[in-house]
Chains A and B, each alone.
Chain A
Amino acid sequence: MKLSGRVSFREMEGGVWVLEGDDGRTYQIAGGDGRLRKSGQRIEVEGEVDSAALTLAMVGPVLKVKRYRPL
């Protein structure tokens, strides 16, 4: 599936990268490279949402990034 949104870094639990999706939900980013992790960057992601994972970040479902491109 494809998702677009804004990349953001959150302080809690030692720091977690999230995608503030244009669908109004917040996703925890998994995978992708260092260039993806730029706070404020708008991107379009192709990947999978893993709603079953339990995490220590607890910010929302996990988005496993396959490909992405900056918007």
Chain B
Amino acid sequence: MVTSIAAPLEPTIVSGLRRKGAKLQGDTLVSLVRIAGVLLLAGAALGGCCKAPCAPVKGATSDDPGSRVPGAIVVDFKDGTTKAEFDAWEKEWGIDLEFNSIEGPQDGVTIAVGVQDVEAVLAKIRRHPAVEAAEPLKKYQKTFIPNDPQFGKQWNLRQIHMPEAWELSRGKGVVVAVLDTGIAYADYQDFRQVPDLKGIKFVKGYNFVNDDEHPNDDHGHGTHVAGTIAQATNNNEGVAGIAFEAALMPLKVLDESGMGVSADIADAIRFAADHGANVINMSLGGGGYSRVIENAIAYARRKGVTVVAAAGNTGLGQVAYPAAYEGVIAVSAVGPSGKRAPYSSFGKQLDIAAPGGDKRAGPEGGILQNTIDGRNRGESLYKSLEGTSMATAHVSGVAALLYARGARSPSEVEKALFDGASPVNGQEWSEEYGHGLLNAEQSLNLLGRDASGTNWPPLFLAAGLLVLVLLTLLPRRRPGYLNVLMSPAFFIPLVLATVGVFFARWAFGGAQGVAAQMVDYASLPIPDWQRFLFGRGRLANPLFYSALIPLAGSAFAIALKRLHHVVAGLAMGFAGFLLYAAWSRAPGLAFLPFNFLALPWLIANSIICLFIARAMLDKEVGR
């Protein structure tokens, strides 16, 4: 499972905070500037831990050959319609249309960008008598259809939009470690390389089961998983794989009966991290909680490695270890219909769903790759398998594509994977599908945009917080009210409620055991302390994401006047946090899984928080 952490902040913020502790008697303007600066930085911190799509562009449907350009529409007027005419009409629609090209005055084709509610605007436009057609603007993406003869059977690769994704990335320069039964990667003694891995790059691996340097496969599972990640593709042979220009690192941790021990797996994770792997694929699970494996995973993550693991095949609502550890992407399996396969485990640590196959209707519902016959080593065959192992390999493959396209950290990879995933049943997150169904094309596109675009969201957020503060305070023109904001009693709860003790991990990152857990919780904003009670599920408890805590604080403050500053800061922080959660659609709320319920809840509660803050400061300043 993966939970995002607050981004480390620049030292300027810490010194900025220290300044807040000093007595400030500067004039109003100076105070204002300081508030603006600190809020800006607090906003940047919050933006860094944005879990939800910062741009709510999701899932072009699969029957759609082109994908929609966000906020853009095309309107075809009757031939000969003039600019003056549609300039007059567009005011009513609230958009700005322009001719698409010099052909415009003849063919009447116009476009508009920056449209807020595309569907509503289109419905209005279509009613106009001069409009022949109005629709979302589509981008026609080139696709790459490999010549592998059995590619037509790979429904799974179309399901995750690989033909479009291969135009953007093929995994060049990335290393994926496969912790499994080995890979049929080379000829050695009785072992043979399977033909459809010919031409794939391999980096030095290790056999932790027999303690030698020959991690050849004596089972078949590992070779199949490796095939999904990087089968030789467009080679006129067999089937395709996702990141076929990436390199594979074979690490044998499971014996010929498909079993392994925690020590070998922990060692293999560290080996991969130390030998340049970018992604670790663990299509294995069970054995319960192991501190040794958990530490190895934390080590790999610190070295910038994305770790992916299978949710398990019990069909029950409990994610298996190692997928359930913090910092691991937990993957469930779907069949060709996109529904969770009945064997797939699920649960509160689940992160994403991917094709794992469903063979109830026949082998064509499984995942087809080149592997070996476990009972006859060396014998190559194309085999259809189902399992969360297969699903995991898809996510690892796409993670490799993301690294090749410029992702620099596991957090960036996860953000692109989760934001790019196609939501299932309209839910932002669910125990069965996590953030939704893997979508390679969408994830790669989101990554590209994040890398090149301006980091506006945190700036918007900071500006929003500033406006909140000013709107709450400016109407009461009493001397000294801004200095109230600079007092630690106000400011510390504000920071705690919005970004938590954001520097805790940075300052105490090496802590162990209970201390480490304390650091983890301290670095969460107050509303996320609900995880302490309810675990690290994907859905937040709506009582914590509400005005309840500031409200309880204000009850105490009636008796204790000294608490007014504290409660005001807390309430202001909550207001900012809840509005941010509403704006970023993150995370989903338990019991209110749908946006149409969660959004009004968050907004109404942040307004209550603002009233509390205002009332508290009113009393304080009034005396």
Size of interface on B: residues with Cβ below 8 Å to A: 37
Let me know if B286 is at the binding interface, CB within 8 A.
Answer: yes
**Nearest CB of chain B from residue A65's CB, rounded to whole Å:** 13
Q: A56-B180, A58-B320, A58-B345 are in contact. Are A13 and B286 (CB under 8 A)?
A: no
Interchain CB contact under 8 A, A53 and B259: yes
Partner of A54, one of B285, B386, B388: B285
Let me know if B254 is at the binding interface, CB within 8 A.
Answer: yes
**Nearest CB of chain B from residue A19's CB, rounded to whole Å:** 14
Q: A12-B343, A13-B387, A14-B220 are in contact. Are A56 and B258 (CB under 8 A)?
A: yes
Let me know if B475 is at the binding interface, CB within 8 A.
Answer: no
Hey, which chain A residues are within 8 Å of B385, CB to CB? 12-14
**Nearest CB of chain A from residue B386's CB, rounded to whole Å:** 5
A31-54 residues with Cβ-Cβ distance < 8 A to B are 51-54
Let me know if B181 is at the binding interface, CB within 8 A.
Answer: yes
Let me know if B106 is at the binding interface, CB within 8 A.
Answer: no
Let me know if A62 is at the binding interface, CB within 8 A.
Answer: yes
CA distance A33 to B287 in the complex (A): 24
Let me know if A59 is at the binding interface, CB within 8 A.
Answer: yes
CA distance A58 to B330 in the complex (A): 14
CA distance A51 to B261 in the complex (A): 11
Let me know if B284 is at the binding interface, CB within 8 A.
Answer: yes
**Nearest CB of chain B from residue A49's CB, rounded to whole Å:** 12
CA distance A32 to B78 in the complex (A): 79
Hey, which chain B residues are within 8 Å of A56, CB to CB? 180-181, 219, 221, 254, 258-259, 283-284, 387, 389
| Residue from B219, B253, B288, B313 whose CB has the most chain A CB atoms within 10 Å | B313
Partner of B313, one of A51, A52, A53, A58: A58
Partner of A30, one of B254, B259, B265, B285: B259
A53-B259, A59-B313 are known; give 15 further A-B pairs, CB within 8 A. A10-B343, A11-B386, A12-B343, A12-B386, A12-B387, A14-B224, A51-B287, A51-B288, A54-B260, A54-B285, A55-B258, A56-B180, A56-B284, A58-B284, A59-B314
Let me know if A8 is at the binding interface, CB within 8 A.
Answer: no
Proximity string of chain B (239-267) to chain A, C-beta cutoff 8 Å, 1 when within and 0 when not: 00000000000000110011111100100
Let me know if A21 is at the binding interface, CB within 8 A.
Answer: no
Interchain CB contact under 8 A, A13 and B259: no
Size of interface on A: residues with Cβ below 8 Å to B: 20
Interchain CB contact under 8 A, B286 and A58: yes
Partner of B257, one of A12, A30, A51, A52: A30
Q: A55-B286, A58-B345 are in contact. Are A12 and B261 (CB under 8 A)?
A: no
Hey, which chain B residues are within 8 Å of A16, CB to CB? 258
Let me know if B310 is at the binding interface, CB within 8 A.
Answer: yes
Let me know if A3 is at the binding interface, CB within 8 A.
Answer: no
Hey, which chain B residues are within 8 Å of A11, CB to CB? 359, 386
Q: A12-B386, A53-B260 are in contact. Are A61 and B286 (CB under 8 A)?
A: yes
Hey, which chain A residues are within 8 Å of B287, CB to CB? 51-54
Proximity string of chain A (11-25) to chain B, C-beta cutoff 8 Å, 1 when within and 0 when not: 111101000000000
CA distance A57 to B374 in the complex (A): 15
Interchain CB contact under 8 A, A14 and B374: yes
Hey, which chain A residues are within 8 Å of B285, CB to CB? 54-55, 58
Hey, which chain B residues are within 8 Å of A30, CB to CB? 257, 259
CA distance A10 to B313 in the complex (A): 10
Hey, which chain B residues are within 8 Å of A53, CB to CB? 259-261, 286-287
CA distance A62 to B261 in the complex (A): 12
Q: A10-B343, A11-B359 are in contact. Are A55 and B314 (CB under 8 A)?
A: no
Hey, which chain A residues are within 8 Å of B265, CB to CB? 54
B210-247 residues with Cβ-Cβ distance < 8 A to A are 219-221, 224
CA distance A14 to B221 in the complex (A): 8
**Nearest CB of chain A from residue B146's CB, rounded to whole Å:** 25
CA distance A62 to B359 in the complex (A): 24
Proximity string of chain B (381-403) to chain A, C-beta cutoff 8 Å, 1 when within and 0 when not: 00101111100000000000000
